[in-house]
Amino acid sequence: MKKISTILMAACLVVGLANGQSQRYVVVEEFTGETCGPCASNNPGFNAKLNANSYTLPIKYQNNIPSNGPNFYAYNTTDIGNRTSYYANNYSPHAFLDGNVWNGNAGSFPVATLNSRVAATSPFTIDVTHSFSPTHDIIYVHAVIRATQAVTGLSSLKARIAITEKDNYGYTSPNGESHYSDVMRKMLPNGTGTVLPATWAVGDSVVLDEQWTINVPSNIPTVFLPYWPMLRAVVFVQNDANKEILQGGRSTVAAVVPLAAITNLSTMFSCTSSLDPAVTLTNYGGGGNLTSAVIEFGITGQAMQTYNWSGTLAAGASTIITLPNMTLPGGGMQNFSAKLTSINGNPDYYNINLNFSAPVAQAAAPTTSFSQDFYSTVFPPVNWILNNVDNGFTWTRSAVGGFQMNPGGSARMNFYNSANGQVDELLPYTPVDFTNAVNPQLTFSVAYCQYSNENDRLDVRVSTDCGATWSSVYNKAGAALSTTAAQTTSFTPSSASQWRAETVSLANYVGQPSVLFSFKATSGYGNNLYVDDINLTGVTSVHQIEGVTSLLVYPNPATDVLNITATLEKSLPMTISLTDISGRQLFQKNLGTVSVVDETVKTTDFAGGIYTLEVRSGDAVSYQKVTIK
């Protein structure tokens, strides 16, 4: 077969030389970006136009317009910057057809112009092949540029090589794109290119041999490295005097197996040390049906287990697999990891499979208290889990804290950069005992603004079966969630007026012995959300202080009055006081030696904000945050 292919190539070459013309392959370069909203909406139609013509060679430069992308742009800023400067590009999505034949918004790409350009012959042919080192970390490119017509007077002729990734799946960027094609990964030897002769006789040729060691930068996760079976080389001849591209050529990708991955872990909690992990297996496509896979899984740092899956999973489909039972090594949060080591009987090199991980935890024994002020710089807080399935922008700690602003702390969900539809959860894995609860309420502070009219969502959920099922107790999005006017810059609350106190009744859960909470954020690619001052009231024995069998502080947030009730095992000296964030004591009362407390504090004269309630019983003291509207 190899000999036949060589003869055919030679025959085609002879015809080309005899006729003095060559079929033109058109290079279409696009400046697009991971943070570019219009790119996400225009690229599907633009790509369809390019893919409809087999003589089109796309190159996509993932640039920093309107802002730096976390993956492709961060991986190779130098070459992207070089091509950006070359074309003086200042917007996205901006496409260039053969350099100077046409340029404009990719959404209005002219198919007729493309077809006309394809029909115009070229004075060159370009044959391109590539290969890899045994460990697939070096790509070798071999290209032969040959003149099929005489060429003279082109003193600014350059040859450029772009290593592109044919398809990239499994990564959802901030603008919502999850399938990337023809992404430029490296220019060889660089963006400037290689100088070519100004004069060519028919049959003259130039041979280019370049190589690239696929680098592993420290500024992006390994999962986002180029997938070597999807790499190919686009070689083109360009006249720098007027930027016209005279011919292009491209090698063929080596991918022969599906691009599959473990994409989710739906089992985060266990009420015992035993866990049955349920993972999602996805076939992104690129190599037909997925019929078998070997999954290596376990707790990071422990011995891994192996599971052999078989079935039929079509391109674009997913299935949930419950892996064999495993034992969690002790209480607290652990890190579950899984990877595919084999696909359809072949070794799997897809980078996204190399480090899938997710937090898992054995739920602690139920407690009778629940509060979080995010004062500590540890994040997620102790005994909390952050579930960030896409490894993208997610919940982080902000130094801005609730109504008291600074100093303080809060949890920030970065909707400003998070891709549309992405879900991130922040949740404590210690359940609360509602057996003896009386009028339980969840209170917290929220600050949020839209970018324009997006529907970023906060959903507070409750589970009574150790996370197997969840019920929503608070669900707001978009304008209903907003606490201040929309803005197009990244939102950080700058005053207490940009916060709102929320109160959620949990009366339906009275009597439940184990209640878990989750703060679930779903991105609309809008603006940032902040949550602070999380507190639970109405649960018996919230504060374990000397001799106190129950202590209730309500309503919280308070508007007119704050009620404080307590029952003691015996008579003890009791005092209560309220202190503002500056440490100034605004209220103090000695209740004497009592066995029952039923005190009402008038709060109408207090400024809105966060206060600390101090309750002293004998030699013990308890502190509780109170919000006054």
* H or E element in which residue 114 lies: helix 111-119
Residues lower than pLDDT 50 in the chain: 1-19, 541-544
Predicted pLDDT at 16: 35
Long-range CB contact pairs, 129-136, < 8 A, 24+: 129/251, 130/231, 130/232, 130/233, 130/251, 132/228, 132/254, 136/214, 136/228, 136/349
Q: What is the number of helices (H) and of strands (E) in the chain?
A: 6, 39
Alpha-carbon gap, residue 72 to 59, rounded angstroms: 13
Which tokens belong to 565? 């009730």
Q: Which SS3 state, helix, strand or coil, does residue 50 take?
A: helix
* H or E element in which residue 412 lies: strand 410-413
Beta bridge mates, 627: 610
Alpha-carbon gap, residue 420 to 378, rounded angstroms: 28
Predicted pLDDT at 543: 44
Q: What are phi and psi of 68, to 5 degrees?
A: -60, 130
Task: State yes or no: cis peptide before 66, omega within 30 of 0.
Answer: yes
Cβ pair 208, 141 in contact under 8 A? yes
* H or E element in which residue 74 lies: helix 72-75
The distance of Cα 557 from the centroid of its chain, to the nearest Å, equals 34
Q: Which SS3 state, helix, strand or coil, does residue 286 take?
A: coil
Q: Which SS3 state, helix, strand or coil, does residue 447 take?
A: strand
Predicted pLDDT at 10: 31
At 28, the amino acid letter reads V
Residues 6+ apart with CB under 8 A from 307: 294, 295, 297, 321, 323, 324
* H or E element in which residue 505 lies: strand 500-505
**Secondary structure letter of residue 407 according to DSSP:** S
Which tokens belong to 176? 């919502």
Cβ pair 325, 283 in contact under 8 A? no
Predicted pLDDT at 623: 66
End-to-end CA distance of the chain: give it in Å, rounded. Answer: 81
How, if at all, do strands 561-579 and 548-554 pair? antiparallel
Domains and CATH numbers, the chain: 21-250 (no CATH), 256-362 (2.60.40.10), 364-539 (2.60.120.200), 548-628 (2.60.40.3080)
Backbone Cα Rg of the chain: 31
Alpha-carbon gap, residue 522 to 288, rounded angstroms: 32
Residues 6+ apart with CB under 8 A from 114: 26, 28, 49, 53, 56, 97
